[in-house]
Amino acid sequence: MKLKTFLVGSSVLMFGVCIGLVVSLKMSAVTTAQSQSVKTAAIAAGSVNGFDMEDAVINVAETTGKAVVSITAEHITKVGGRQFTYRGPSGEQEELFRRFFDEFFGEMPEREYRQVGVGSGVIIDSQGFILTNQHVVAGADKLSVTLPDGRQFTAELKGQDARSDLAVIKINARNLPVAQLGDSDTLRIGQWVIAIGNPFGISVQNAEPTVTTGVVSALHRTLGRTLGRGRDYNDLIQTDAAINPGNSGGPLVNLKGEIIGINVAIFSTSGGYQGVGFAIPANSAKRIVGALLAGKKVQYGWLGVTIQELNDDMAGYFGLKDKLGVLVANVVKDGPAARSGIKASDVIVSFDGKPTADVKALLSIVGQAEVGRKVKVQLIRDKKPMTLEVEVGQRPDDVEGENIEQAPAAPAPNWRGIKAEDLSAQTMQRFEIQEKTAGVIVTEVETRSPADEAGILPGDIIVEVNRQPVGSMDDYRKITKSARGDVLVRTERGFFLVKESSQ
């Protein structure tokens, strides 16, 4: 009986052991399979054209890197004679002193002062055409190019466009490596990119360019006029790949070695790398480069309006369901928009069949539109949709406004937090206004008042209240005295919705 019990117990134990081994083997197989799957996925995710991440960067450095050049721009300033200044009561005495020094010491020879700037560029054509930034070569008396193989050439400026900050220079050389412009519209945030260039002029002495890696940290960035130094820096690629002074004009490339941007600027509090750099998208550069290579002036489409974004209050005032549109703040006299019938307070929702959700979208679409072509503009006026046809104009280098003289008048009482008065010599000097114009100037805005909440600032010039023109303080008093409810105030900066005071 004991023997039978032992045999049964042993059988059960052996069966349990077998079951455990089977389960263990299956779990091990699953774990191995999962590990292999993750490893395979990781290799696939970090590989390009058969290369893993590290090899892809090396491959780009050894191929596209060969087409990246260092550019030295020399600026020569000539100073003639003795730089003599005498602060006396008359010009005659100054001339006497000048003659005295010339007679006893002789005339000073003309001297030259040489300033040297460095930047980067990339060869885009086997005939020696090099793409770079306009600010790298602007005003240079001599341009020199150093190739990664050590060869040096004198370069010729073939074309430049200050607005886009792009330029094309040319060297006479053979057997040149060439980099290809890629499709920047396919970029995604988080995508790996490589910046190649000549930071701090290092490559002038050591010909090989510097390679840094990072990711696309943001897309469609816009730099203001202050950061952009007056240039049109819109729709930029932002990257954390190290970009430093001297990298300007060099390419930002993908892991395939295709140019997807031209490095143009850094955002820094120290002047050096802090993880925020910007590049002009390759697709934006293609149209510019085509014109420059053909020796043509780059033309930009122009509508002739001042525009602003819509906020929720503005959208509700104009009867819109959402903020997808651009508000026309001002219309340039005799410009394309004025000739087509577009008016201030119109909301543009589509241009040439393309939606204009915000200011950036409209600026981009109009700027790339073909000059002279007639396009349809869909807009909302008085809460009703309408379509107008406009002939795209060529953006002028400068647009001047009218100068209308107005007699000064006494300040008006505080209206919804605004203190205003006519433009005078004193107020123009106080708010640094260069030209006198129609309207009244805001001198004070009460804190937490309806005007303050709307965004009106001291120095704003009010030209309309509730779509009625304000040419002087008399107009302003009459209109504001009878104004009720939410009031639309138009300034030279744009429209503001000033709500009725709750006090």
Distant-in-sequence, close-in-space partners of 56: CB < 8 Å, separation ≥ 6: 47, 48, 49, 255
Provide the CATH number for the domain around residue 193: 2.40.10.10
Biggest distance spanned by C-alpha atoms of the chain: 141
Q: What is the DSSP letter of 17?
A: H
Q: How far apart are CA 172 and CA 77, in angstroms?
A: 27
Give the CA distances from residue 166 to residues 104, 344, 356, in Å, rounded to whole numbers and listed in that order.
52, 34, 26
Tens digits of per-residue pLDDT, 345-376? 899 999 999 999 988 889 889 988 989 999 99
Is 355 part of any domain? yes
- Within this chain, do residues 131 and 202 fall inside the same structural domain, yes or no? no
Q: Provide the mean pLDDT of the chain.
A: 80
- Same structural domain for residues 157 and 196? no
Among 170, 204, 231, the domain boundary falls at 170
Domain boundary among 170, 203, 230: 170
- Catalytic (active-site) positions: 135, 165, 248
Greater confidence (154 vs 424) lies with 154
> Which H or E element spans position 465?
strand 461-465
Do residues 159 and 242 both lie within one domain? no
Among the residue ranges 11-20, 145-154, 411-420, 481-490, the one predicted with the least confidence is 11-20
Q: What is the DSSP string of 414-439?
A: PBTTEEEEE--HHHHHHTT--S--SS
Structure tokens at 120: 């980067």
- The region, left, alpha or beta by phi > 0 then psi within -120 to 50, assigned to residue 494 is left
* C-alpha to C-alpha distance for 142 and 288, rounded to whole angstroms: 23
- Per-residue model confidence (pLDDT) at position 401: 33
Is 90 exceeded by the pLDDT of residue 501? no
| pLDDT (0 to 100) of residue 120 | 95
Q: Are residues 226 and 312 in the same domain?
A: no
Q: What is the DSSP string of 76-144?
A: EEEE-S-------S-HHHHHHHHHHHHHHH-PPPPEEEEEEEEEEEEE-STTSEEEE-HHHHTT-SEEE
Residues 96 and 141 grouped into a single domain: yes
Q: CA neighbours within 13 Å on the CB side: how many for 192?
A: 15
Cα R_g (the chain), whole angstroms = 33
Q: Is residue 381 part of a domain?
A: yes
Q: Which of 200-209, 331-340, 470-479 bottoms out in mean pLDDT, i.e. has the lowest?
A: 200-209
Q: Model's pTM, two decimal places? A: 0.66
User: Are 307 and 251 part of one and the same domain?
Assistant: no
* Concatenated DSSP letters of 148-205: TTS-EEEEEEEEEETTTTEEEEE---SS-----B--GGG--TT-EEEEEE-GGGHHHH
Q: Is residue 12, in this structure, part of any structural domain at all?
A: no
- On whether residue 412 sits in a domain, the answer given is no
| Residue 71 shares a structural domain with residue 166 | yes
CA–CA dist 178, 181 (Å, integer): 10
User: Given this model, what pLDDT does residue 50 score?
Assistant: 61
| Residues 190, 285 within the same domain | yes
Residues 288, 313 within the same domain: no
Domain residue limits at 233:
184-293
CATH code where residue 476 lies: 2.30.42.10
For residue 383, count other CB atoms closer than 10 A to its CB. 10
- Rounded to an integer, what distance in angstroms lies between the CA atom of residue 254 and that of residue 244? 19
Query: What's the domain count of the chain?
Result: 4
Domain boundary among 256, 274, 293: 293
The answer to whether position 38 is within a domain reads: no
On whether residue 464 sits in a domain, the answer given is yes
Tell me, yes or no, whether 73 and 156 share the same domain: yes
Do 132 and 196 lie in a common domain? no
pLDDT for position 387: 96
Report which residue type is found at 92. E
Residue 50 lies in a domain: no
Query: Does 490 fall in a domain?
Result: yes
Average of per-residue pLDDT across 473-495: 87
Same domain, 163 and 206: no
9-49 pLDDT, tens digit per residue, is 555 555 554 555 444 544 444 333 333 333 333 333 455 56
